[in-house]
Structure 1
C-alpha cells in the first residue's frame, strides 16, 4: 500500500442544548442533569450499535491517554476537571461522544484512510438521533451555536492526516501551511512532526455546509499528496545514494535497536514505508496494516495497555521504549533491500 496519501480521517460535531448556558458558565447541578439525560438517551432504543458509557472517575490515566491516542477523545477534554462530564463510545470505536466539555455535546469519529464522507454519514445519523431528543441551540444567521466562536455554523471540524516525509525533508511544509491558511485551513504537525506526519483541518465552519468542508479538504489533500509523490521520485532520481542510505539506516536500527522512543519509531516506520513505496525495500511484517496504523499502536498508552497489561503508570518509563523496540524488531524481521 502506498503511504503517500491521506492516512487517516477525523470529524468532530459540536452541539449545545437550547436554553442552557455553556458548560464553563453553567452550575454543577445543571451539568449533571444534562449528563444524566444524555446517558439515558444513549441507552434507549433506535441506535444501530450499542453505546458504551465510561465512568471517567474510574478510568486510569493511561486508559484516558489511550482514548486520546485513538482519536476518540480530544486532549482538551481529557485534561478538564471531571464535574458534570460524561463520555461514551459507539460500537467498537466507530464514534464517541463527549458530554459537557467546552460544549454540551461533541461527536467524534476517526478512521484510517480517506474516510471523511463515510464518517460524515455516520455522525450525521447519530446527530439526527440526538437532535430528536434534545433541542439544539441554533441561530438562523450563525448556525449551530458554540462556546468557541469559530465552531459556530455547521459545528464541524474535519481532519485529514497526511504522510509527507519528502515535503518535510525538503522544507516545503511551511509554504504549504501558509497557502492553506489563506484558504481557511490549518496544516499542523502530528506527533511533533515525526515521520512527516501532519494534519489538515478547517479553521472554522461558518458559511460552509458540511459537504463543502469535506470536499474542500479532500480536494486540497489530493493536490498535496500528488506533490509528495513527485518529490519522492525526485529525491530518488537526484540523490539516490542518500535516499537509499537513510532508508537502509532506518531499517537497520529498527531490526537491531533495544530501546526506541515514540518519535524515533515514527521516523523509522516512515522511512521504511517510503522504501517500500519506492520499491527499494521488502518488509513483509508491514504488509498487514498501514504505516499510520503501525505508528498509532506504537504510541505510549497503546504500548502500556495492549502489550504491558497496563502495569506501567508513567508513560515516560524506559520499559515502554524497550517494549516498542521489541515490537519493531519483530515487525522488521525478514525485511531487506530489494536492490
Structure 2
C-alpha cells in the first residue's frame, strides 16, 4: 500500500452510509494536535530545521507497529503533485492549508482505507486524525489515541503540566483535541430553522463550518460541527458533549422530515424528483448547484421516496465532482466551464450505473 493508492481510490471508509445514524451524520472525526519539544512550530521552520523535524518524526514512525506491519505509509509533499494533494483535501484527509505547498518536510501518513491519517508540519508538527462513517466519536477517539500513544512512546511532545499540550494556535492548547461531525440537515434548511439552531449550538460551545472546515461556506445542506474549547475538559468530556448535541440534532432533523412528508408531501416529492431529473439530464452544472441537488436526492433516498440508490453512492459522488477529482478523471487541466461540463457527465454516468 502507498499513499497514492488511497488518493486514486474512489472509496474511503467515511463514505460508508450504513453506519449508526448514517442518514444524517455523514462522518465523525477526531483530530489531535501535537508538537515536538524544543522545535519551532511549523510556520517558523526553515528548510534545515524542517528537515530535522521530519527526520525525528520519520524515526518515530519507523518504530511504530502500524508502520512495521505495513498498515500505514508516509509520503512527503515533494513526491506528491499539487493535484494529488488537492485530491487528499477533497477526501477530507488533509486540510486545504496543508496542501498549498510541496515542501519536502511536509507530508502525510495514511492507512489503507483513509480512516487514520496524520498531517506532518501543517499548523502543528503532527495532526493525528481518525475519520469514520456515521456517529462514531468514541471509536474515532480510541483509534486516534492509540496512534498518538505509539508516537508519544518515541517522541518528546511539547507539554506543560498546567496548560496541557502546547500548540501553534492558542485555541488548541490543552487537550489539543478537535472533535467534529459532518451533518446533512436539509429539513432544517427547508423549514427555515437553521439560523436559530446554529445560534443555539454556538451557545453550547460548538462551532459550525462548511464542508471543508474553517473558512468554507455551508453548501448542499452539509454542516461540520466541532468543539470550540480544548482546555478545562477531558477528551472524553469533549466527545460526550458533542455526541449529546449531535443526537439532539438528529432527532430534530428526523421530526422535521416527518412533518414535511405529512404537511408538504407533494411539494417535497416534486422537489426531490426535479433534483433527480436535472442531475440525470443536465449537460453543464457548477459545484454549488450539484451539491444542492444531490442533497435533495439524498433526502429522497433517506426518506424512501427514491429507490435503488445507496447513500454510499452519493458520498462518493460528492467527492468525485470536486475540481481535482474531475481533472484527474479527465487526465487534463480544465477551466471552470470544462469542469462544469465534466461534472454533469460524471453525475449522469454514476446515476445510470446504479439504476
- Secondary structure, aligned partner of 2:65: coil
Deviation by residue 1:267-296 (Cα, 9 ceiling, x = unmatched): 2221122122223222x2x22726334322
- Return the offset for 1:212: 1.3
The verdict on how the C-alpha distance between 1:31 and 1:331 changes in structure 2, with shifts beyond 3 A counting, is closer
CA contact (8 A) 1:4 1:164 kept: no
Q: TM-score, normalised by structure 2?
A: 0.85
- Cα deviations across residues 191-240 of structure 1 (Å, max 9, x unaligned)? 63222110110112101111211111111011111111111222222222
CA contact (8 A) 1:9 1:116 kept: yes
Tell me how far apart the structure 1 counterparts of residues 153 and 30 of structure 2 sit (CA, whole Å). 21
Q: Following TM superposition, by how much is the alpha carbon of 1:301 offset from its aligned partner in structure 2, in angstroms?
A: 1.8
- Aligned 8 A contact 2:23 2:311 in 1: no
Tell me if 1:14 matches 2:39. Answer: no
> In the alignment, is residue 312 of structure 1 matched against residue 335 of structure 2?
no
Q: Write the deviation string for residues 308-328 of structure 1: whole angstroms up to 9, x where unpaired.
A: 3xx2234x4433333332232
Residue 252 (structure 2) aligns with: 227
Q: Are 1:3 and 1:290, in contact at CA under 8 Å, matched by a contact in 2? A: no
Could you say if the C-alpha distance between residues 49 and 183 of structure 1 is closer, same or farther in structure 2, counting changes exceeding 3 Å?
A: farther
Q: Which residue of 2 is the match for residue 332 of structure 1?
A: 351
Point out where structure 1 has 5 or more consecutive residues left out of the alignment.
none
From 295, 301, 320, the counterpart of 1:297? 320
Q: Is the 8 A contact 2:64 2:151 kept in 1?
A: no
| Residue 284 of structure 2, aligned match among 259, 266, 288 | 259
Q: Does 1:132 align with 2:157?
A: no
Q: 1:206 aligns with which of 215, 221, 231?
A: 231
- SS of 1:111's partner is strand
- Deviation at 1:73? 0.6
CA RMSD of aligned residues (A): 2.3
Q: Which residue of 2 aligns with 1:244?
A: 269
SS in 1 for 2:346: helix
Deviation at 1:155, TM superposition (A): 0.5
**When the two structures are aligned, how many residues end up with a matched partner?**
330
Tell me the alpha carbon deviations over residues 89-108 of structure 1, each in whole angstroms, 9 at most, x when there is no partner. Answer: 23342222222222121112
Q: Which moved more, 1:66-75 or 1:98-107?
A: 98-107
Gaps of 5+ in 2: 1-17
When normalised by structure 1's length, the TM-score is: 0.89
